[in-house]
Amino acid sequence: MASSRILPTLLGWALGVTVTAAIVGTPYLLFAYHSPDLHLVLDSLDTGVALLVAYLLFGRYSRTGRLQDLLLAAGLLLLGLAGIGLTLVLRLIGPDDDRGGVWVPVAVRVVGAVLVLAASMTSARRPAGRWSRPLKLLPWVTVAVGVAVTWALGDSLPRALAQTPPASAQRPVIAGHAGLLAAHAVTALCFAVASVAFAVTSRPRAEGRDELIRWLGPAFALAAFARLNYLLFPSLYSDWLYTGDLLRTASYAVLLVGAAREIRRYWSMQAQDAVLEDRRRLARELHDGVVQELGYIRSEAQTLSGDPNSRQRIVAACDRALDEARAAVDALGRSSDEPLGFVLHRAARQVADRYNASLEVEVDDSVHADADQRHALIRITREAVSNAIRHGRADRVRVRLDRHGPRRRLLVQDEGEGFDPTVVRRHADGYGLTSMKERASSVRGTFSIDSAPGRGTTVAVTW
């Protein structure tokens, strides 16, 4: 389970290492190509993806109120603003391309990377609380301060790059300012640590996997290697396409995949919520209609005069119908997020209370089952408890849910009259046993029953 969780991140790291090692270690490979059009296309694409995912995360935050979503949204918004949009704005207000027009995006990008790192270190369930308003304003304040400082300092800012673009792209010849190189190093480190943190903390499928968080690991791994390539081969020239540009676009492409899966998951959850609400409505109708009427028929049947056997058969039929109706109400009206042990406890308690029997329940909360298995196990539990009380004359029933080696097990035990299973299966009364066995088979499990006259009964389902 853990390996499948971190596999995408490992692939992202492997791709980043391979590309960087090939460029650094092979003198015949070019680290830059002169392609103004493609450079503009990739810059625009990266900015668009960053802003899209930031918007998606702000939407998530509005629903969840979690600090991690807000930090990620603010960080990605800054990374998007640091792209082509901010560069164009700065050119319009006048700073030279290799002074203010460079330092502001670099500073904004560092702040965005720090916010991403902070998000990776924050619990996925922690509410934003008092940090909500400052973090919402932080991206805009950062950009405003950067633009204001650039306007005030103007030509007094140092040049980010001291040389012109390379005449040959087979070996690095550009020497950047120490501040620029430090910014690339800090950003790369933030992205690298965030990549590992997101991979480690992403939840497995059984716990409700967060698709977007799962893809942040490989995305920021590639982003870290993009910044490392910018550190090794500093690039601020729009006419040249560097390996760092390609790795950066790859990171945003992975981020776009995560966003697409998150959107699909959102609409799937919306559809599930609509179905669940309709099921709850049907459950209310059953409870207020069929169950109430069956209860009335049962109470009236007990007052009938005449053949006692006939009266008892009517009451027994009403009991079975009530069990079926209540099982349908539970199946329709309950959420699949409830722990399995709690669901089985409730089902057994409903049957035991109807016949005034005692119930002992012992459950292991780590045992889980999918929706189809849960339904089958609930029906088996209700049938086994009902049989123990009605046919076995047991006044106490024990229900146990635990692990039996590598498998999971449900036990329903009583100390009632017991019976001979081989005899019961030959008669119509054995339909309940057949039904339980078939339900156990439907969950790819095994069904067994241990009983004999005078020594009680144990029903076991292992899956």
Tell me, yes or no, whether 49 and 145 share the same domain.
Answer: yes
| pLDDT over 60 (residue 283) | yes
Domain containing residue 457: 337-463
CATH number, position 421: 3.30.565.10
Q: Evaluate whether residue 321 is within a structural domain.
A: no
Q: How confident is the model at residue 42 (pLDDT cuts 50, 70, 90)?
A: confident
Cα torsion 377, 383, 386, 389: sign? negative
Tell me, yes or no, whether 264 and 361 share the same domain.
Answer: no
Of 251, 272, 293, the residue at which a domain comes to its end is 272
Average pLDDT, rounded, for the chain: 80
Q: Evaluate whether residue 310 is within a structural domain.
A: no
Task: Quote the pLDDT of residue 91.
Answer: 66
7, 217 contact by CB (below 8 A): no
How large is the angle between the packed helices 211-232 and 243-286, nearest 10 degrees? 170
| pLDDT over 60 (residue 163) | no
Of 249, 272, 295, the residue at which a domain comes to its end is 272
**Residue 447, SS3 per DSSP:** strand
Q: Evaluate whether residue 292 is within a structural domain.
A: no
254 DSSP 8-state letter = H
Contacts of 49 (CB under 8 A, 6+ apart): 80, 252, 253, 255, 256, 259
Q: What's the domain count of the chain?
A: 2
Q: Evaluate whether residue 252 is within a structural domain.
A: yes
Q: Closest by alpha carbon to 109, among 88, 73, 87, 80?
A: 80
**Residue 193, SS3 per DSSP:** helix
Q: Evaluate whether residue 303 is within a structural domain.
A: no
The Cα 50–Cα 333 span in angstroms is 40
Tell me, yes or no, whether 239 and 370 share the same domain.
Answer: no
Tell me, yes or no, whether 23 and 147 share the same domain.
Answer: yes
Q: How confident is the model at residue 180 (pLDDT cuts 50, 70, 90)?
A: confident
Residue whose pair of structure tokens reads 């690991």 in the numeric block:
217
| pLDDT over 70 (residue 293) | no
Q: Evaluate whether residue 66 is within a structural domain.
A: yes
The Cα 61–Cα 81 span in angstroms is 20
**Residue 117, SS3 per DSSP:** helix
Task: Quote the pLDDT of residue 256.
Answer: 92
Tens-place pLDDT, residues 377-434: 888 888 888 888 888 888 899 999 998 888 889 999 998 888 888 776 555 455 677 7
Tell me, yes or no, whether 106 and 251 share the same domain.
Answer: yes
Tell me, yes or no, whether 347 and 263 share the same domain.
Answer: no
Q: Closest by alpha carbon to 120, among 55, 193, 52, 183?
A: 193
The Cα 347–Cα 333 span in angstroms is 13
Rounded average pLDDT over 436-463: 87
Buried b (16+ CB within 10 A) or exposed e, 410-448: bbbbbbbbbbeeeebeeeeeeebbeebbebbeebebebe
Tell me, yes or no, whether 218 and 75 share the same domain.
Answer: yes
C-alpha 310: how far from chain center = 55
Tell me, yes or no, whether 257 and 349 share the same domain.
Answer: no
Q: Which two tokens stand for residue 148?
A: 């204001």
Tell me, yes or no, whether 158 and 260 share the same domain.
Answer: yes
Q: Evaluate whether residue 391 is within a structural domain.
A: yes
| Whole-Å CA distances, 88 to 9, 94, 179, 248 | 34, 10, 22, 20
Q: How confident is the model at residue 93 (pLDDT cuts 50, 70, 90)?
A: low
Of 222, 252, 272, the residue at which a domain comes to its end is 272
CATH number, position 134: 1.20.1070
Task: Quote the pLDDT of residue 430.
Answer: 55
Q: How confident is the model at residue 50 (pLDDT cuts 50, 70, 90)?
A: very high
The Cα 208–Cα 126 span in angstroms is 17
